Amino acid sequence: GIQVEQSPPDLILQEGANSTLRCNFSDSVNNLQWFHQNPWGQLINLFYIPSGTKQNGRLSATTVATERYSLLYISSSQTTDSGVYFCALTYNYNNNDMRFGAGTRLTVKP
């Protein structure tokens, strides 16, 4: 079946540390997005990245579509980075069915 697997499920960091979050998927994708869900539930769109590499400040993301994974890098983490990070994607055969991974819950301690 359709699989979107995120790892690790939980991550605790000291402020200033770097981290890598991973998203594995099981088929060809036409849309892959990374989101940060803040404590109030708002999904913040971080990257639209079905392939390639993008950077935005301390965050960057890489998707290797041929190997079916995407990585989200967070450098010099801050306490405000805490929250849940979701990878979500749609597969080529159904552009309407956006599947979310289970998320990585990040806690950054001061």
Does 59 interact with another protein (rule: CB under 8 A)?
no
What is the spatial distance between Cα 53 and Cα 28, in angstroms, rounded to a whole number? Answer: 17
Which residues between 7 and 36 bind another protein (CB under 8 A)? 30-31, 33, 35
Which span sits near another protein by CB under 8 A: 11-19, 60-68, 71-79, 87-95? Answer: 87-95
Is residue 42 near another protein by the rule CB under 8 A? yes
Phi and psi, residue 64, nearest 5°? -105, 95
- What strand order describes the sheet that includes 69-74? 4-7, 19-25, 69-74, 59-64, 52-56
CB of 92 to another protein, least distance (A): 7
Site for another protein contains 50 (CB under 8 A): yes
Nearest alpha-carbon partner for 87 in 72, 74, 67: 72
Footprint of another protein (CB under 8 A): 30-31, 33, 35, 40-43, 45, 48, 50, 86, 88, 92, 95-103
